[in-house]
């Protein structure tokens, strides 16, 4: 056996395949397919490979930042909805417009007239949010006189 033959792995593989084709043709086909798979990806030049690795790292970092921003955005949307609901409850408890609190002349609900007390407050909600109504000091029970 020549030394050049044993030193070259591709020549060795070819010789083994030749032998296999005689003894077991089906296995030879499988071996050919496997060899083809390992040969197909052409080696990238060193400089290009470094550049590809650098870009892949940048892409992964950017994707991680995007995921973090998406999580933050979902959290902010949830918090905004919570605050919105709480404000709407408070507006109802105070008899104010839940959309604009009387600050928007073009409000579709109140046309800017929805300041607190403009409509009958939701007393149940009011008691839950602000505690039970108490009469003012030095006057008769005003909650019952109105």
Site size toward Zn ion, by CB under 5 A? 7
Of residues 78-107, those binding Zn ion (CB under 5 A): 97, 99-100, 107
Residue number, 28 or 116, with CB nearest to Zn ion: 116
Query: What does the block give as tokens for 25?
Result: 């043709």
Q: How far lies 22's CA from each of 77, 106, 107, in Å?
A: 69, 90, 89
Stated length of the chain: 146
Residue number, 116 or 133, with CB nearest to Zn ion: 116
Least distance CB 124 / Zn ion (angstroms): 22
Question: Residue 75: enclosing H or E segment and its boundaries?
Answer: helix 46-94
Residue number, 15 or 115, with CB nearest to Zn ion: 115
Report the C-alpha gap between 13 and 39 in whole angstroms: 12
Stretch that binds Zn ion, among 6-14, 25-33, 85-93, 110-118 (CB under 5 A): 110-118
């Amino acid at each position: 056996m020549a030394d050049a033959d044993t030193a070259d792995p591709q020549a060795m593989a070819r010789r083994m395949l030749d032998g296999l084709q005689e003894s077991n043709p089906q296995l030879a086909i499988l071996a050919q397919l496997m060899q083809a798979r390992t040969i197909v990806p052409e080696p990238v030049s060193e400089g290009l490979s470094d550049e590809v690795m650098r870009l892949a790292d940048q892409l992964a970092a950017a994707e991680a930042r995007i995921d973090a921003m998406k999580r933050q955005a979902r959290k902010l949307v949830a918090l905004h909805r919570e605050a919105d609901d709480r404000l709407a409850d408070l507006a109802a408890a105070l008899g104010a417009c839940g959309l604009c609190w009387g600050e928007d002349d073009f409000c579709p609900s109140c046309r800017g007239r929805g300041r607190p007390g403009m409509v009958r407050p939701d007393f149940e909600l009011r008691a839950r949010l602000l505690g039970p109504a108490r009469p003012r000091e030095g006057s008769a029970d005003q909650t019952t006189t109105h």
